[in-house]
A = this chain, B = another copy of it.
Amino acid sequence: MITKEKVLEALSNVEEPDLGKDLVTLNMVKDIEIEGNKVKFTVVLTTPACPLKELIRNACIHAIHHLVSKEAEVEVKMTANVSTGRKDGNSLLPNVKNIIMVASGKGGVGKSTVAANLALALAQDGAKVGLMDADIYGPSVPIMFGLRGQRPMMVNVDGKGKIAPMEKYGIQVMSIGLLIDEKQAVVWRGPMASSALKQFVSDVHWGDLDYLVIDMPPGTGDVHITLVQSVPVTGAVIVTTPQDVALADAKKGIAMFSSPQIRVPILGLVENMAYFTPAELPENKYYIFGKEGGKRLAEELEIPFLGQIPLVQSIREGGDEGVPAITGKDPVTQQAFSDFAGNTARSIAMRNANIAPTKIVEIVE
């Protein structure tokens, strides 16, 4: 006879490969129901974007057949409860489980496109996601999401007036570009920019989120230090192209995040513009900026490599705008962003399982 105990014992042989422990120890098995030889249970993953979902499901079914009963009809429901490394009780962004900085050492590598698509891809898998465009020197979310010229609404939160993020394509978005005058921002330097960003973080009411993706300004500087001193950052995703100059700057960016004053975990590196593919000829790959430079850098620095995003363009689209489609009409790009988001979610889950809780960086100026 099949029993709950036997099922649990069998499932204690199934490992969550990333976390290196079995599903029972990790408390990921819920709602076991047994009716004759029908076995039903739920596996609660640490992220809905988990690329190992099917692998884990199959391992569960295999374990039941092998260790409990060959005749068992197994039904596994996969859900997710996004893990968090936060235990800070910080009043800023209290209901955000994971705060992810998307950064690049250098401008022009497509950081904003990567940040926006990371947010969208995580949401497609069912997570609650926000995108915060903090690129004070060149906010791009207003253009990318068609929000230019719109003014955000105010909401009353505990008696205080806060700014409500906008909803677009299934995620919450807010850009500093919607709150400040673009022409003014470009002349801001260190302290001015930092205080504007600080206010931006505290004035927007994000609500409940599994992931808040923050599109940082390129480079390394005051603004980055301000942010890690204001909110507990889960980790940073570094965007680079395979070009030598971009890699050199990515290295500097990684060094900054790892420095004792900042100490933000590196979730990994993603290689953007990894190769060019004409939309009409997806089998043709042109490594116009060199091949796999980002992958090699990740290996050299022993940080996770989160994926390669190709440059896909059609002659028909090649117009004046230069704004890459974020809605993912192209299947090659869509797959690349989906893989990248899955790997990032995995890296976050591992980070939350293995590293000490996220803390605000203390000011040691």
Closest chain B residue, CB of each to CB of A107: B245
B290 near A322 with CB under 8 A, answer yes
Closest chain B residue, CB of each to CB of A321: B290
A322 near B108 with CB under 8 A, answer no
B245 near A108 with CB under 8 A, answer yes
Complex CA–CA separation, A276 to B286 (angstroms):
10
A191 beta carbon closer than 8 Å to chain B: no
A157 beta carbon closer than 8 Å to chain B: no
B319 near A287 with CB under 8 A, answer yes
A128 beta carbon closer than 8 Å to chain B: no
Contacts of A314 in B (CB 8 A): 286
Mark each residue of chain A from 104 to 115: 1 if its CB lies under 8 Å from any CB of chain B, else 0. Answer: 001110000000
Within 8 A of B (CB), among A276-310: 276, 278, 281, 284-293
Count, chain A residues at interface, CB 8 A: 34
A313 beta carbon closer than 8 Å to chain B: yes
Complex CA–CA separation, A276 to B319 (angstroms):
13
A55 beta carbon closer than 8 Å to chain B: no
Q: How many copies does the complex hold?
A: 2
Within 8 A of B (CB), among A226-249: 241-246
Closest chain B residue, CB of each to CB of A241: B108
Contacts of A245 in B (CB 8 A): 107-108, 138, 218
Known contacts A107-B245, A108-B243, A245-B108; is A289 also within 8 Å of B322 by CB? yes
Complex CA–CA separation, A108 to B284 (angstroms):
24
Known contacts A108-B108, A246-B108; is A313 also within 8 Å of B290 by CB? no
Closest chain B residue, CB of each to CB of A110: B243
Contacts of A242 in B (CB 8 A): 322
A315 beta carbon closer than 8 Å to chain B: yes
A320 beta carbon closer than 8 Å to chain B: yes
B288 near A313 with CB under 8 A, answer yes
A288 near B315 with CB under 8 A, answer no
Contacts of A281 in B (CB 8 A): 278
**Which listed residue (B218, B290, B315) contacts A284, Cβ 8 A?**
B315
A269 beta carbon closer than 8 Å to chain B: no
Closest chain B residue, CB of each to CB of A292: B320
A349 beta carbon closer than 8 Å to chain B: no
Contacts of A321 in B (CB 8 A): 290
Identify 10 residue pairs between A and B in the complex whose beta-carbon atoms are under 8 Å apart, listed by A's number.
A106-B108, A107-B245, A108-B241, A108-B245, A138-B244, A218-B245, A276-B288, A286-B313, A287-B320, A290-B321
Q: What are the 4 tightest A-B residue pairs by CB atom distance, in nearest-first order?
A: A290-B322, A108-B245, A107-B245, A287-B318
Task: Other than A276-B288, A278-B286, give 10 A-B pairs with Cβ distance below 8 A.
Answer: A106-B108, A275-B318, A276-B286, A276-B313, A284-B315, A285-B318, A286-B315, A286-B318, A287-B313, A290-B322
